[in-house]
């Protein structure tokens, strides 16, 4: 008989797999559409470095604001 902790671990693993798959799909879609990145962060107005704009097509946040957005703090 499985216990609650085993079930929770399985649910967490499934959720993580779905989240990673969704992120990879969104990244692939952004790269495929060749979306232009913002030159300045839409949140704080700081300049987004060129290397970030090249590596993350369609980015609109600087790294600091992106982290805050991912943490749900924006």
Each of the 74 residues of the chain gets a pLDDT tens digit; together they read 578 899 999 999 999 999 999 999 987 776 666 567 889 999 999 999 999 988 888 889 999 999 999 998 87
Phi, psi of 18 (to 5 degrees): -65, -40
Residue 34's pLDDT is what? 58
Residue 56's pLDDT is what? 87
Q: How far apart are the first and last CA of the chain?
A: 43
Tokens encoding 69: 């957005």
User: CB of 66 within 8 A of CB of 43?
Assistant: no
**Which CA distances in Å does 10 have to 19, 21, 24?**
14, 17, 21
Residue 35's pLDDT is what? 65
Residue 61's pLDDT is what? 93
Q: How far apart are CA 2 and CA 17, in angstroms?
A: 21
Length of the chain: 74
């Amino acid at each position: 008989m499985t216990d609650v902790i085993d079930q929770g671990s399985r649910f967490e693993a499934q959720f993580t797999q779905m989240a990673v798959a969704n992120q990879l799909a969104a990244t692939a879609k952004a790269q495929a559409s060749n979306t232009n990145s913002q030159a300045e962060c839409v949140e704080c107005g700081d300049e987004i470095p060129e290397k970030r704009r090249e590596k993350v097509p369609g980015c609109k946040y600087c790294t600091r604001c992106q982290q805050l957005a991912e943490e749900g703090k924006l």
